[in-house]
Amino acid sequence: MSATTPKTGIRTGREYLESLAGDRQVWLEGQRIENVVEHPAFAGAARSVAEMYDLQHVEGNGLAVPGPNGGLVSFGYEVPRSPVDLRRRRTAVELLSRRTGGMMGRLPEYGTAFAIGLLSIAEDFGPEHAARVESWFAQCRDADVCLVTSFVDPQVDKTKPAFDSGLLRVVSDRPDGVVLSGCKSVATLGPLSNEFMIITAPRQFAADGEVIYVSIPTDSPGLRFYCRRAFRVDRSPDDHPLAARFDEPDAWALFDEVFVPRERIFLAGTADVTKVAALFRNVLPWPHYHNLARMSVKAKLLAGVCSLIAEHLNTWRFPQVQESVGQVIEYAVTVDAYLRAAEEDCTYTPRGFAMPNLTVLSVAKLFAVQNYPRMLEILRELSGQGIIMAPTQSDFASEIGPDLERYFSTNDVTAGDRARLFNLAWDLACDSFAGRQVLFELFNAGGISLSRLGVANSADRSTYVALAKELAGIGPDA
């Protein structure tokens, strides 16, 4: 663990923020950022994550659970053994997601879902490597680290070997560890994390040194984060209730001869590339489940905003408005139903972990992602000019405030409340922040095509085939 990371128990938001000090290398728009906690491009997200850590200390909310050593640990490290355990896990994810409107896809609890997935397949790495996974899992749990992961490769010519294209690879295998060079992409929240886990998604490999499952401290020498451009950093939470607080940084992770000690290597340099797809697939159910729980909260937020807009504009009396709001409610209810079905129809790993039904999750992801842009379109249609013309709090505080109160209010709604609602709608559906949300949901854990492949390959088609044979008069063994 990083020297600035607490050693035991659930930590506070202050302890999390203090852990971000040190020698981490974070770059934004050509400048190295010396203090990510105070920099305006990162401060909102950092403080939002800190709030999540503080929530663990609120008794009875399910975010902290008894650990194996007697103290409290994050709920995310509790291994689910039943549908009841999964529901308890979902309830905690939903509580956190409600604080952000589902806008932060990489809160620390999401990293714990990958840790659970890795722990579930630890024995597939062999006895020595499995012991490393177990030890690393316990360290992360007891230190309550902010863990992020990346398995996305940069958009390079993947017909070339990793050495030529810049993909992450092992460049040196030593008795005490390995040395990595290359790049991973979409390391969301990486600049604000403590621990960075790398896993490998299936692709065409030129050498087994390109298959890497490791985890290292974020401030490891040679590890650099190059962040995407920042959205406007002078946003006020009054006018941008989502964008000012929940813009989590996306980044490339550059490895410049980064040393990984042997105890942090789960698989690297000696992999059987034919097993990569199965390893990756078996890690993903829990992260997919957490992601769907977050999207369920976002869907409910959209339904609430659309309903409020119809009320504020007094347009609910129109059937077409009711129909549009109904579509958003349908979306929210359906995502929630998929989530519950994945819990109830869970399967069990060889180690007894309750695993949300992967086929249901794959179908759910397709439904949620494909319909999300349409929900935003409905929100914009219901809002009309109001989503563009909403005054700012500075407008209300100026000499034009009385005019705005007169022309932007209605009989039942003050101008200030109406502006707050439309500012929320703007962040959801129109702002650059909203555009990033659409892309994030679309490509999170793979795009539409990859999701469809996931459905085809995870489903048990034998019952479908048996029914078709029966009605066609084909023998079961034919």
pLDDT band at 158 (very low <50, low <70, confident <90, very high): low
pLDDT computed for residue 234 by the predictor: 77
Q: Does residue 17 surpass a pLDDT of 90? A: yes
Maximum CA extent, the chain: 83
307-313: Cβ within 8 A, 24+ apart: 308/421, 309/379, 309/382, 309/383, 309/386, 309/421, 309/422, 309/425, 310/382, 312/410, 312/413, 312/417, 312/418, 312/421, 313/382, 313/384, 313/386, 313/410
Contact predicate 94/332, CB 8 Å = no
Lowest mean pLDDT among 37-46, 407-416, 450-459: 450-459
Q: Does residue 293 surpass a pLDDT of 90? A: yes
Average pLDDT, the chain: 92
Q: Does residue 197 surpass a pLDDT of 70? A: yes
Q: Does residue 449 surpass a pLDDT of 90? A: no
Cα separation, 123 vs 242, whole angstroms: 42
Contact predicate 358/282, CB 8 Å = no
pLDDT computed for residue 387 by the predictor: 94
pLDDT digits (tens, 9 = 90+) for 90-120: 999 999 999 999 999 999 999 999 999 999 9
pLDDT band at 3 (very low <50, low <70, confident <90, very high): very low
pLDDT computed for residue 213 by the predictor: 95
Better-scored residue on pLDDT, 206 or 303: 303
Q: Does residue 164 surpass a pLDDT of 80? A: no
* % of the chain exceeding 90 in pLDDT: 79
Lowest mean pLDDT among 58-72, 128-142, 446-460: 446-460
pLDDT computed for residue 24 by the predictor: 94
Contact predicate 219/185, CB 8 Å = no
pLDDT computed for residue 478 by the predictor: 77
- Report residue 241 CA to chain centroid gap: 20
pLDDT band at 471 (very low <50, low <70, confident <90, very high): very high
Q: What is the mean pLDDT of residues 339-354?
A: 96
Question: What's the token pair of residue 45?
Answer: 């997200």
The helix (H) or strand (E) run that includes residue 50 is helix 43-55
Q: Does residue 473 surpass a pLDDT of 80? A: yes
Cα separation, 308 vs 305, whole angstroms: 5
Crossing angle between the packed helical segments 415-429 and 401-408, to the nearest 10 degrees: 80
pLDDT digits (tens, 9 = 90+) for 369-423: 999 999 999 999 999 999 999 999 999 999 999 999 998 888 789 999 999 999 9
Cα separation, 81 vs 353, whole angstroms: 5
208-211: Cβ within 8 A, 24+ apart: 208/269, 208/270, 208/271, 208/272, 208/273, 209/162, 209/169, 209/170, 209/173, 209/268, 209/269, 210/162, 210/167, 210/168, 210/169, 210/170, 211/267, 211/268, 211/271, 211/273, 211/276
Q: Does residue 81 surpass a pLDDT of 80? A: yes
Q: What is the mean pLDDT of residues 279-293?
A: 94
CB atoms within 10 A of CB 283: 23
Q: Does residue 202 surpass a pLDDT of 90? A: no
Can you spell out the DSSP letters for 92-132?
Answer: HHHHHHHHHTT--TT-HHHHHHHHHHHHHTGGGG-HHHHHH
- At residue 167, what are phi and psi to the nearest 5 degrees? -65, 155
Distances (CA, A) of 423 to 301, 311, 394, 412, 438: 14, 16, 13, 19, 18
Better-scored residue on pLDDT, 177 or 166: 177
pLDDT computed for residue 232 by the predictor: 67
Q: Does residue 5 surpass a pLDDT of 60? A: no
Question: What's the token pair of residue 199?
Answer: 């896993």
Cα separation, 234 vs 113, whole angstroms: 33
Reading across the β-sheet that carries 31-32, which strands appear in turn? 31-32, 25-28, 223-227, 251-261, 177-184, 169-174
pLDDT band at 276 (very low <50, low <70, confident <90, very high): confident
Q: What is the mean pLDDT of residues 290-309?
A: 97
Cα separation, 302 vs 372, whole angstroms: 10
Q: Does residue 6 surpass a pLDDT of 60? A: no
Question: What's the token pair of residue 412?
Answer: 């039942």
- Residues facing 226 on adjacent strands: 27, 252
Lowest mean pLDDT among 115-119, 138-142, 220-224, 229-233: 229-233
Domains located in the chain, CATH noted? 13-279 (2.40.110.10), 284-467 (1.20.140.10)
Contact predicate 140/115, CB 8 Å = yes
Alpha helices in 257-409 (DSSP H): 276-283, 285-312, 319-344, 358-383, 386-389, 393-397, 401-408
Sort residue 384 into left (φ over 0), alpha (ψ -120 to 50) or beta: left
pLDDT computed for residue 206 by the predictor: 67
Rg of the chain over all Cα atoms, to the nearest angstrom: 24
